[in-house]
Structures are given as C-alpha cells and as structure tokens.
Structure 1
Amino acid sequence: MVEQNALQLDTVFHALGDATRRHMLRQLADGEQTVSQLAEPFEMSLAAASKHIKSLEKAGLIRREVRGRTHICRLESGPLASASEWLVFYEHFWTGRLAELERLMREASPAPQSPRPKGK
C-alpha cells in the first residue's frame, strides 16, 4: 500500500512537472473541456495535446469520457489532495525548523541596549 502510494505520488508530481499540463489542469478547474479546448491555448497538434492528457490521466488527475467522437476531460481532485498532504507535511516540518532557528538566534544575540544621551 505504501509503495503504491509512493508510485502514485511520483506519477502525480511527474505530471505536475510540466507547465502545459499544469495549465490544462487549471483550465479544467473551471469545468469540463474537450481535448480541442485544452489544446487551443498552445501551439501544438492534437496528438501532442493528447500525450499531455494521457500523462494527466495516468496520474489520475483527469478523467476522459468519450461522447460520440468528442473526448470530454474533467478534473479529478483526489490525487491533488494526496500531493497536497505530502507537501503540507514538509511545510510544517520546515516552518518548525525555521521557528526553532529564529528562537536560537534570539537567545544567542545580546539584548539591545538603550542609547546613552550625548555628553554624559
């Protein structure tokens, strides 16, 4: 189970590692779109767009449904939630480490002294 989750996270982060695929996911956050609609903002063939979509499908980030000759894609949020959980763990880890570093630096620095009036 743990190994399967690790493989799924690897696939999700690989899919998210490409700007085109992230843009496609952002488009799908607004609702279902056809493959043509997803490909439209990019200067690429439908075949190239389809490869990006297959990568997103493999990661479980989108689901494609065929309606006649039209392929409709929709966002699947589950894998994004898993990736977010993984990232939140490290966010908490580093926030804690940085807070500890700040505390240690405050303890190590001398207390500020009040300025003395001139001439005395």
Structure 2
Amino acid sequence: MGVTKSEKFTEEQNKIARMTKAIGHPARIAIIQYLFSIDSCVCGDIVNEIGLAQPTISQHLKELKSVGLIKGSVEGTSVCYCIDYHNWSLMKNLLSPILNLDAATLKKCC
C-alpha cells in the first residue's frame, strides 16, 4: 500500500479524513452513541455496554481520543470518558458541506 501524501491536501481535508477514519468502525460508533446517551462513564462501563474485550475497547477509545472526538480524565484508577462537544461540533461543521452535496442537481454524465 502506498504512503498517503497528506501534504497534497488542505489542512481541512486532512482533518476531515482523520475524523471520519476514527468514526469508521461500528464499535466506535457504538461508543460515541453510548457516550452521548450518558453524561460520562469509565472504561468498564463501556466494555459492559458494547460487549467487546477491555483491550479492544481501550484501543477504540484511544483512536477517538487521538482525533479529539472524546476526552478522558483520570479518576482514581479509572479513566472517565465523555464527548468533546467542541470538536464534535467542529466535525459536524466540516462534514456538512460535503454531506450536503447533491448528485441529483448535477447532469448525469455517467
């Protein structure tokens, strides 16, 4: 597989790609939906809710946190995770122009 030439794309295009890649797994979608349904939680709660192994959940949490869609804080021996609402809004604003493109308004050329 070739190396991605991210320097050929705008900062916005690269940011959109990183965020959509992070949410491009059904377990991560389930984690996000769960975090939106509650105020915050610890990793063990997510494991029980999603039904995957703790190391697997931790890896998915790491991916979501690395792009800033969630944030975590240490509370004793646990980490409490929640949605980063600022970055969630940023992602929605970045994706809206793309998701609002409408092929029906274009000429049919193919």
What is the TM-score with the length of structure 1 in the denominator? 0.69
- Match of residue 43, structure 1, among 18, 29, 51: 51
Identity %: 14
Question: Unaligned regions of 5+ residues in structure 1, if any?
Answer: 102-120
1:68 Cα deviation (Å)? 1.1
1:18 Cα deviation (Å)? 0.6
- 1:72 matched to which residue of 2? 80
| Residue 81 (str. 1) matches residue 86 (str. 2) | no
The residue type equivalent to 1:20 in the other structure is: A
- 1:98 matched to which residue of 2? 104
The CA distance in 2 between the partners of 1:72 and 1:25, in whole Å, is: 14
1:99 Cα deviation (Å)? 4.7
Report the structure number with the largest CA radius of gyration. Answer: 1
The residue type equivalent to 1:41 in the other structure is: E
1:100 Cα deviation (Å)? 6.6
The CA distance in 2 between the partners of 1:5 and 1:99, in whole Å, is: 25
RMSD: 2.2
- 2:18 matched to which residue of 1? 11
Question: Unaligned regions of 5+ residues in structure 2, if any?
Answer: 1-8
Contact 1:32 / 1:72 at 8 angstroms: preserved in 2? Answer: yes
In structure 2, the residue corresponding to 1:55 is in which secondary structure? helix
The CA distance in 2 between the partners of 1:100 and 1:26, in whole Å, is: 34
1:27 Cα deviation (Å)? 1.1
Cα distance change of structure 1 residues 6 and 78 upon mapping to structure 2, 3 Å threshold: farther
The CA distance in 1 between the partners of 2:49 and 2:100, in whole Å, is: 36
The CA distance in 2 between the partners of 1:89 and 1:82, in whole Å, is: 12
What is the TM-score with the length of structure 2 in the denominator? 0.74
The CA distance in 2 between the partners of 1:56 and 1:66, in whole Å, is: 17
- 1:61 matched to which residue of 2? 69
